[in-house]
């Protein structure tokens, strides 16, 4: 996966070196970077300041190779204690359990665990989860930002509203519009399930609301009164595209408030991928834009776990995406449109929100930047026009939607940004989560059956099981458990505390060289409910 980049070194010189290498480890790490045969893929290459948007990613051999020197240059060992490690890993964890009513849980979703571990400072990943209140179903999504977190933040706040509105029947839209019109209280559309650290921008809420309202007004106007069935797939695609066009439009129009004006431009000039799942009964839709991934955990009859991928990565590894890009642009661009596995040699994901640099015409870009605030003008990155930029747009936010009908053997869904998938194979991810969840909730019960088991044998077996359980119980959250493995796994596939401690104690500026932001949502399905649905049909 890692691409050899001869470009890296010159680039790094452009950066504010003092900011990256202002630490005591300067020499050592420079050496480290230079000697590295591979340098990591940054999502978006060619990003001058902020400097830490540029990164390198070490290979494993390299890690061992440099260890000796590392100790030499930093005599004091700063190992984190297990509680310290836990407090870092658990800082962003969140769990939601679908409440039971009258002792009955009618939702096909039992609940979800989510967590994120930053590598960038501030983290560029975002996550969202919400229950649709006016329609059935639950929305869950992970968003991987690049060139800052503005776009991923905006998408994480806004996308679910667009989806929910797209799913609403005509009458409900009318009702909402009338309520707004007459200043009455609005029907709540979404119930968010947020970690305290997941914030919403207060300043932009009015602006975002107006854009959303325009959208539903158009939906009301467009309604011909014929089809009452709302197609989830279509709704998802419309919502994605509409939000992206609103982001683009807001940046073009600007805002009289200078803070907001700068904000909408930052949103438009940064980018974000999105992977969103909509679960309603047994109907699971995954809408994906970019290279985050949705993976279904399936438990086979023999108890083993297998992974079913429900999304396609939109990047150079995907033949169909390469094909699409080539078809969308003239033949003479065939070589330049994707270079070194990147869009126009720059961008790793082939689909994304924002990133107007890859969408707007050069004229438009220049016009907006010139009329924009000074901060924008001073920004090298925004001014920079991609090479071979002939026939924009090169980038779209249109998602690819996958439908899956849930079966009782489908136990959970993992949504995660590429930070996870880079470090772990999907099969391992599903196995680790699967074993964790069954260990906690329905560890394979022991039954004596017709076998001859003595009390002593049983006792030995149970003691062993309990010892195993206690290690699993360290994490109350499947996503945390997964991150622990992703960051701390050694060659044997078990968590190595020493490694974990080292990875987590990296200085802020260096963390991004060793890992990407990781954001994970693990959605657990209720097999009983899913089974009941199946029997109904």
Partner 1 sequence: MFFRLLSAVRRQRPGRGWRNWSSGRSGASAAEAHSVTLPTQAQVVICGGGIMGTSVAYHLSKMGWKDIVLLEQGRLAAGSTRFCAGILSTARHLTIEQKMADYSNKLYHQLEQETGIQTGYIRTGSVFLAQTQDRLISLKRINSRLNVIGIPSEIISPKKVAELHPLLNVHDLVGAMHVPEDAVVSSADVALALASAASQNGVQIYDRTSVLHVMVKKGQVSGVETDKGQIECQYFVNCAGQWAYELGLSNEEPVSIPLHACEHFYLLTRPLETPLQSNTPTIVDADGRIYIRNWQGGLLSGGFEKNPKPIFTEGKNQLEIQNLQEDWDHFEPLLSSLLRRMPDLETLEILKLVNCPETFTPDMRCIMGESPSVRGYFVLAGMNSAGLSFGGGAGRYLAEWMVHGYPSENIWELDLKRFGALQSSRTFLRHRVMEVMPLLYDLKVPRWDFQTGRQLRTSPLYDRLDAQGARWMEKHGFERPKYFVPPDKDLLALEQSKTFYKPDWFEIVESEVKCCKEAVCVIDMSSFTKFEITSTGDQALEVLQYLFSNDLDVPVGHIVHTGMLNQGGGYENDCSVARLSKRSFFMISPTDQQVHCWAWLKKHMPEDSNLLLEDVTWKYTALNLIGPRAVDVLSELSYAPMTPDHFPSLFCKEMSVGYANGIRVMSMTHTGEPGFMLYIPIEYALHVYNEVMSVGQKYGIRNAGYYALRSLRIEKFFAFWGQDLNTLTTPLECGRESRVKLEKGMDFIGRDALLQQKQNGVYKRLTMFILDDHDTDLDLWPWWGEPIYRNGQYAGKTTSSAYSYTLERHVCLGFVHNFSEDTGEEQVVTADFINRGEYEIDIAGHRFQAKAKLYPVTSLFTHKRRKEDVELSDLHGK
What is the smallest separation between the CB atom of 54 and partner 1, expressed in angstroms?
Answer: 50
Report the distance separating Cα 147 and Cα 354, nearest Å: 10
Q: Give the containing element (helix H, strand E) for 527.
A: helix 527-536
CA dihedral 386, 389, 393, 399 (to 10 degrees): -50
With beta carbons less than 8 A apart as the criterion, state whether 115 and 483 touch: yes
Half-sphere exposure of 491 (CA within 13 A, CB side): 4
Cβ 465 to partner 1 shortest distance, Å: 6
List the x/- string, 400-439, binding to partner 1 by CB under 8 A: ----------------------------------------
- In angstroms, give the least distance from the CB of 446 to partner 1: 4
Cβ nearer to partner 1, comparing 6 with 454 = 454
Handedness of CA 178, 181, 182, 183 (dihedral sign): positive
Size of the site for partner 1 (CB under 8 A): 21
From CA 264, how far away is CA 287, in angstroms rounded?
24
Shortest Å, Cβ 439 to partner 1: 11
Nearer to partner 1, 133 or 462 (CB): 462
| Alpha-helical segments (H) within 316-423 | 319-328, 334-337, 362-371, 374-377, 380-383, 418-423
Closest to partner 1 by CB, 99 vs 196, is: 99
- In sequence order, the 6+-apart residues with CB closer than 8 A to the CB of 165 are 173, 189, 212, 215, 216, 219, 239
Question: Residue 453 phi/psi, 5° resolution?
Answer: -125, 130
- Shortest reach from residue 433's CB to partner 1, in Å: 21
State which residue, 78 or 101, has the beta carbon closest to partner 1.
101
Considering only residues 463 to 492 of the shown chain, the ones binding partner 1 according to CB under 8 A are: 463, 465-466, 469
State the pairing for strand pair 94-97/109-117.
antiparallel
Show the DSSP H helices in 39-149 as ranges: 60-73, 82-90
Return the number of the residue (91 or 440) whose C-beta is nearest partner 1. Answer: 440
Contacting partner 1 within 272-331 (CB under 8 A): none
Q: Min. distance of Cβ 445 from partner 1 in angstroms?
A: 6
Cα 151 to Cα 23, 156, 373, distances in angstroms:
30, 8, 18
Binders of partner 1 in range 71-130 (CB under 8 A): 100, 102-104
Tell the smallest beta-carbon distance from residue 525 to partner 1 (Å): 21
Looking at the Cβ atoms of 103 and 256, the one nearer to partner 1 is 103
Shortest distance in whole angstroms from residue 493 CB to partner 1: 25
In 10 A of CB 37, how many CB atoms?
A: 9
Q: Of 3 and 472, which CB lies nearer to partner 1 in the complex structure?
A: 472
Cβ proximity to partner 1: between 222 and 447 the closer is 447
Closest separation between CB of residue 303 and partner 1, Å? 17
Query: Which residue number, 361 or 463, has a Cβ lying nearer to partner 1?
Result: 463
Nearer to partner 1, 170 or 465 (CB): 465
CB nearer partner 1, residue 367 or residue 528: 528
Q: What whole-number distance in Å separates Cα of residue 91 and Cα of residue 477?
A: 12
Q: For residue 129, give the DSSP letter.
A: E
Nearest to 45 by CA among 20, 9, 19: 9
- Structure tokens that stand for 133 in this block: 């209140």
* Whether residue 122 has a cis bond before it, omega within 30° of 0: yes
Q: Nearest approach, Cβ of 448 to partner 1 (angstroms)?
A: 5
Joined tokens for residue 264 = 């909408």
Residues 437-466 that bind partner 1 (CB under 8 A): 443, 445-448, 452-456, 458-459, 462-463, 465-466
Task: Give 502's contacts (C-beta < 8 A, 6+ positions apart).
Answer: 79
CB 484 → partner 1: shortest distance, Å? 23
Shortest Cβ 532–partner 1 spacing (Å): 15
In the complex with partner 1, which residue's Cβ is closer, 367 or 468? 468
CA gap 127, 201 in Å, rounded: 15
How far is residue 145's CA from residue 242's CA, in Å, rounded to a whole number?
19
Residue 428 CB-density burial (10 A; 0-12 exposed, 13-18 middle, 19+ buried): middle
The residue ranges that bind partner 1 (CB under 8 A) are 100, 102-104, 443, 445-448, 452-456, 458-459, 462-463, 465-466, 469
């Amino acid at each position: 996966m890692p691409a050899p980049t001869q470009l890296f070194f010159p680039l790094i010189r452009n950066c504010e070196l003092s900011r990256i290498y202002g630490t005591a480890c300067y020499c050592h790490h420079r050496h480290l970077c230079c000697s590295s045969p591979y340098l990591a893929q940054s999502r978006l290459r060619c990003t001058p300041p902020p400097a830490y948007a540029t990164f390198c990613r070490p290979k494993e051999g390299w890690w061992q190779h440099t260890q000796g020197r590392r100790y030499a240059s930093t005599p004091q060992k700063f190992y984190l204690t297990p509680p310290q490690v836990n407090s870092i890993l658990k800082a962003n964890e969140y769990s939601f359990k679908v409440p039971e009513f009258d002792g009955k849980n009618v939702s096909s979703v039992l609940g979800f665990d989510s967590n994120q571990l930053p590598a960038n400072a501030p983290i560029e990943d975002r996550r969202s989860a919400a229950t649709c209140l006016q329609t059935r179903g639950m929305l869950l999504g992970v968003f991987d930002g690049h060139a800052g977190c503005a776009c991923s933040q905006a998408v994480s706040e806004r996308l679910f509203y667009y989806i929910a509105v797209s799913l609403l029947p005509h009458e409900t839209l009318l009702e909402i519009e009338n309520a707004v019109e007459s200043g009455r209280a609005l029907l709540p559309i979404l119930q968010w399930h947020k970690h305290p650290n997941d914030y919403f921008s207060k300043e932009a809420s009015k602006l975002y609301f107006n854009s959303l309202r325009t959208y539903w007004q158009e939906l009301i106007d467009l309604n011909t009164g014929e089809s009452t069935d709302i197609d989830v797939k279509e709704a998802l695609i419309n919502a994605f595209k509409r939000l992206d066009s609103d982001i683009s439009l807001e940046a073009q129009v600007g805002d009289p408030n200078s803070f907001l004006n700068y904000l909408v431009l930052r949103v438009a000039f940064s980018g974000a991928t999105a992977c969103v799942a909509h679960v309603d009964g047994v109907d699971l839709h995954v809408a994906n834009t970019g290279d985050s991934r949705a993976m279904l955990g399936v438990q086979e009859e023999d108890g083993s776990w297998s992974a079913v991928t429900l999304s396609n990565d939109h990047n150079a590894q995907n033949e169909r995406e390469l094909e699409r890009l080539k078809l969308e642009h003239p033949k003479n661009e065939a070589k330049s449109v994707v270079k070194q596995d990147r869009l126009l040699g720059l961008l790793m994901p082939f689909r994304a929100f924002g990133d107007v640099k890859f969408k707007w015409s050069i004229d438009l870009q220049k016009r907006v930047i010139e009329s924009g605030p000074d901060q924008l003008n001073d920004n090298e990155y925004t001014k920079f026009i991609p090479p071979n930029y002939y026939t924009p747009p090169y980038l779209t936010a249109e998602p690819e939607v996958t439908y899956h009908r849930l079966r009782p053997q489908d136990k959970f869904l993992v949504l995660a940004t590429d930070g996870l998938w880079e470090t772990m194979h999907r099969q391992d991810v599903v196995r680790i989560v699967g074993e964790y969840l069954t260990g906690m909730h329905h560890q394979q019960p022991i039954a004596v059956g017709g076998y001859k088991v003595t009390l002593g044998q049983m006792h030995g077996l149970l003691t062993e099981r309990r010892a195993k359980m206690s290690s699993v119980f360290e994490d109350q959250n499947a996503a945390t458990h997964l991150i622990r493995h992703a960051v701390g796994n050694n060659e044997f596939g078990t968590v190595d505390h020493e490694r974990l401690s080292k990875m987590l104690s990296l200085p802020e500026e260096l963390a991004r060289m060793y890992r990407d932001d990781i954001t994970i949502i693990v959605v657990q399905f209720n097999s009983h409910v899913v089974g009941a649905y199946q029997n109904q049909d």
